[in-house]
Chains A and B, each alone.
Chain A
Amino acid sequence: MNLMPEKLLHEMSSPGRIGVSLPECDVPATPVPAGLARDSLKLPEVDELSVVRHFTRLSQKNYSIDTQFYPLGSCTMKYNPKVNEQAANLHGWRDTHPLVGDEFSQGALELIWKLQESLREIGGFAAASLQPAAGAHGELSGVFIIRAYHVSRGDTKRRKMLIPDSAHGTNPATCTMAGMSTVPLPSNSEGGVDLDALKAALSGDAGAEIAGIMITNPNTLGLFDRNIEEIARLVHAAGGLVYGDGANLNAVTGVFKPGNSGIDVMHFNLHKTFSTPHGGGGPGAGFIGAGKDLVEFLPGPIAAKRGEKYALVMPAKSIGRMKSFYGNFGVLVRAYTYIRMLGATGLRRLAENAVLNANYLKVKVEKHFKVKYPRRCMHEFVAMGDIAEGIHTLDIAKRLIDYGFHPPTIYFPLIVPEAIMIEPTETEDKESLDAFAEVLEKIAQEALSNPSLLHDAPTTTPVGRLDEVAAARNPVLCYKG
């Protein structure tokens, strides 16, 4: 890791420098009216070599999947295959304009259509859209679809969404954006949805206001809710719809099709299950699948096949456009490439290995850390980090950094205090899991014998723990020369 401080571009700037070579203007110049022209532009002036060195050195300050084990629960940090990059960087994709016309973009439309078909088959859905730009964007589409469905039937009172208390923060935030309020559902002692609470929420007048339920299965505790079909039955009986949050699909590809068990509309995160790179925070891409009653409401345009040709079409009662054009196409190419590499059997092996890796790691970690729900997990599990007096999950996480591991997800889900959510994924080898478990054991011992090693961690990084309070009190969000 690069431990040296790195200047800001603005601090490397020197007047007159430039990092590109541009052609001279080959047409007569037209003057810019003085009233329109800008006076000054205070951007950095840096030569190309300095820019390349700057960003190369910056990259060396990052942990990444390409450099180490990255067991972030709920994020599915699997290997991002390089073949995806080669496929996505073809000029035939990069230089295609979205408005060039269906006739001149048949290759792009073919890929979108094939990916729609593959993903809806994996999920068990009747139709699909690949327009959402991310998981949360897919969620928003899904809740808009549920809303539109009820409105189309004159059922305008249904403006409440049931959400388990283990849910990711995007779920309730999405509801607010769709003009809905949320009704939290407690989890039972096994970590699943409390059926009695669900029945109560759906009964009587209250039930007539319920638009549906947003459910993540496997849930954010890494557990498969055995009651999923009963939950769906109950919600449908009360007139509501079931939204599936597919963040944890990595546990069930080729093993379980959510669309066949009562899920009416669901999103997948292509940047999780389908190996597209996380890029330091994006871009992602969201697939949204719909059961037959909701097919007409999908966001669009989507790709359709007519004979041997492909075309863009808008679903009959579409909720509309969720973004400009057709989706994060460059990300779709990567996901499609991956699915073609794996094929049907490979997709099933994906889930099998993800779940085996997680259970194997859990058995080892359980020896030193309490795991909140000791029953068999799916692709991830939640441990608790308060293993000694004065030690918190944050300290465990920071100490893992000193051992060269990216920490797991911490303090999520909210219903588990001092949560550490660990998801190894299927692309990790056994040695990697053994090494991680050994380090956790060592840290557990350090917590008792020499806790300052945890409290002072990390000490092997370019900066130590940063004062986030001061940063939030007096925000400095831009370079101020």
Chain B
Amino acid sequence: MPFIANSDADRMAMLEAVGVKSIEELFADIPQAKRFPKLELPEGLSELDVMREIESMAAKNVTASTCAWFLGAGAYNHFIPAAVGAIVSRGEFLTAYTPYQPEVSQGTLQAIFEYQSMAAELFGMEVVNASHYDGATALAEAVLMAWNHGGERRKIALPAALHPEYKGVIKTYFAAFDVEFAEYVGGPANASVDATTACVVAAYPDFEGEIQDIKAGAEKAHAAGALYVVHADPIMCALLKSPGELGADIVTAEGQALGNAMNYGGPWLGMMGATAKLMRKMPGRIVGQAQDAKGRRGFVLTLTAREQHIRREKAVSNICSNQGLVMLQTCVYMALMGRNGMRKVAELCWNKAHYAASKIAGTKGFKVSTRSFFKEFVVKTPVPAADIVERLSRRCIVPGLAMSKYDAKRPDELLVCVTEMCTKAQIDLLVTSLSEAAGEKTNSRFGGEAVK
């Protein structure tokens, strides 16, 4: 039996010590009729057979490692330095548990503290927690936080241009509560806000890629006594003003872009930061600095009274795990990139995206409708975007997300994402391919093959 160390002889000796004749006797408490049911599952395979099966499944996917990649919409193809994987695969990080015994978990705890510190600087916030499951649940929990903070206030203002998956999660999380969601179009200054508003949510940038006036939203929310929650692109925060600087009370982000593979949607990293005033209302684990009796600095889980294992039904959230290893990957990524690398990656995204947008805008039949953007923008297409996506994907150029995926009323719009992973040659190929897909002939020198 794989992974079980003891032999039959070991088990015989142990059964004797316990005072039973067979292992079956140990399960006498289980209702007899229900004991030892048949499992309609195949028998186990050897390691090499298992790998063969899994490799053959993995090979059936179309991946960013083999294609020119312009699809974002919540999952991003960014560069991950080799040292990230090498470090987190160390058994002492990979197979350690939650750091409840701080004396034997200083590796994990110090890494969390460093992550909190770097994320706080990136977002311009005073406190960052040790993470949520993903950006969508982090945002949902941030809205819950604002809801609980708001006393009798029932209204939540959401951007119409918030990622549809995120809207879905927020709606699920609020299903049991008497809440009123009001969507606003455009920037947060357009939100309808009054004394019954608990929270205004802004996306920075939004699902159209648009960078809205975040500061104006803060002013509007605060004038009405509401909390301001900003969901931000963490790579963009290295280049543009942080949400904290623009007036956010709570910041959330999807940390997948910071050193984590796309992995078909998870495990990802929900990042959350808040002002010091809201510190004790934050869900999730938080690490703080501490000292031992000899004055040695150490790190420890703190403010635990907020958490489920102590507060139980009065806890701010039921969250028990954080994203541990994923958070560590992001921590190592930010450590390797540092001030200079984070900035450079953001600049590469900015420059390449603006280059791509200007070339697409100059292509007959195509228009770029997002005015102010970072790495994603919406393109109006002369033929249905879903057709373009399907045709180009077969040629190993994945051109973006057809907006019709989430909104059937928008068949001619394509959300294009350009990161530091896209070369000029690939961008030029995308432009000519778009043009060909729309039925126009161009003088392309590159033909139809993806260039890596």
Contact = CB atoms under 8 A, between A and B. Distances in A.
Touch between A and B in complex, CB under 8 Å? yes
B102 A60 contact: no
Contacts of B173: 177
Interface residues of A, number: 198
Contacts of A205: none
B110 interface: yes
Contacts of A355: 23, 26-27
A278 interface: yes
Given A92-B60, A330-B263, A20 B41 contact: no
Given A75-B97, A336-B54, A363-B17, 7 more contacts: A46-B338, A77-B97, A133-B133, A182-B313, A257-B37, A281-B97, A344-B42
B18 interface: yes
Given A462-B298, A463-B298, A18 B340 contact: yes
Nearest to A329: B264
Interface string B17-46: 111000100111111001111111111110
B326 to A, nearest CB: 5
A260 to B, nearest CB: 6
B264 A96 contact: yes
Interface string A311-355: 000000001111111111111010011011111111111101101
B180 interface: no
A282 B326 contact: yes
A200 interface: no
B279 A467 contact: no
Nearest to B16: A360
Given A44-B335, A169-B312, A252-B30, A27 B321 contact: no
B319 A121 contact: no
Contacts of B407: none
A463 B254 CA distance: 34
Interface stretch (B194-202, B218-226, B303-311, B440-448): B303-311
A393 interface: no
Interface in A217-243: 223-224, 226, 228-229
Interface string B84-115: 01111111111111110111111110111110
Given A19-B341, A22-B344, A468 B104 contact: no
B354 interface: yes
Contact of A339 (B41, B107, B345): B41
A314 to B, nearest CB: 10
A14 B395 CA distance: 46
Contact of B352 (A9, A27, A330, A398): A27
Given A41-B339, A63-B105, A478-B128, A93 B263 contact: yes
B95 A99 contact: no
B121 interface: yes
A391 interface: no
| Max chain B Cβ within 10 angstroms of own Cβ: one of A19, A29, A406, A407 | A19
A59 B73 CA distance: 35
B5 interface: yes
6 contacts: A8-B110, A22-B345, A100-B393, A173-B317, A257-B34, A282-B323
Interface in B266-312: 266-268, 279, 285-294, 296-298, 300, 302-305, 307-312
Nearest to B316: A173
| Max chain B Cβ within 10 angstroms of own Cβ: one of A99, A100, A347, A426 | A99
B290 A470 contact: yes
Given A261-B31, A407-B101, A463-B106, A321 B165 contact: yes
Interface in B108-152: 108, 110-114, 116-118, 120-122, 126-128, 130-131, 133-137, 144
Contact of A122 (B1, B39, B83, B401): B39
Interface string A53-77: 0111011111111110010100101
Given A18-B340, A176-B314, A340-B50, A470 B323 contact: no
A331 B94 CA distance: 13
B15 A356 contact: yes
Contacts of B40: 121, 344
B365 to A, nearest CB: 23
Contacts of A124: 37
A47 to B, nearest CB: 9
A178 interface: yes
B408 interface: no
Contacts of A140: 318
Given A340-B53, A475-B288, A19 B335 contact: yes
A401 to B, nearest CB: 6
Contacts, number: 678
A90 to B, nearest CB: 4
A144 B318 CA distance: 13
A439 interface: no
Interface string B355-377: 10000000000000000100000
10 smallest CB-CB distances across A and B, nearest first, come from A92-B58, A179-B176, A66-B91, A325-B265, A343-B44, A279-B325, A107-B60, A283-B267, A19-B336, A429-B5
A194 interface: no
B143 to A, nearest CB: 12
A86 B52 CA distance: 12
Contacts of B118: 9, 43-44
A100 B405 contact: no
A199 interface: no
B157 interface: no
Contact of B74 (A168, A228, A324): A324
B315 interface: yes
Contacts of A187: none
B318 A475 contact: no
Interface stretch (A30-38, A288-296, A380-388, A443-451): A30-38
Nearest to A50: B335
A90 B89 CA distance: 14
A427 B3 CA distance: 6
A322 B172 contact: yes
Nearest to A39: B241
Nearest to B358: A30
B44 A346 contact: yes
A273 interface: no
A105 B62 contact: yes
A171 to B, nearest CB: 8
Given A96-B264, A97-B71, A282-B326, A28 B50 contact: no
A280 B61 contact: no
Interface in A97-145: 97-101, 104-108, 110-111, 118, 121-122, 124, 133-137, 139-140, 144
B57 A111 contact: yes
A389 interface: no
A177 B177 CA distance: 9
B290 A341 contact: no
A135 B262 contact: no
Contacts of A325: 74-75, 165, 264-266
A67 B91 contact: yes
A468 B290 contact: yes
B450 interface: no
A42 B14 CA distance: 59
Nearest to B296: A463
| Max chain A Cβ within 10 angstroms of own Cβ: one of B92, B118, B294 | B92
B263 A94 contact: yes
Contacts of A330: 261, 263-264, 266-267
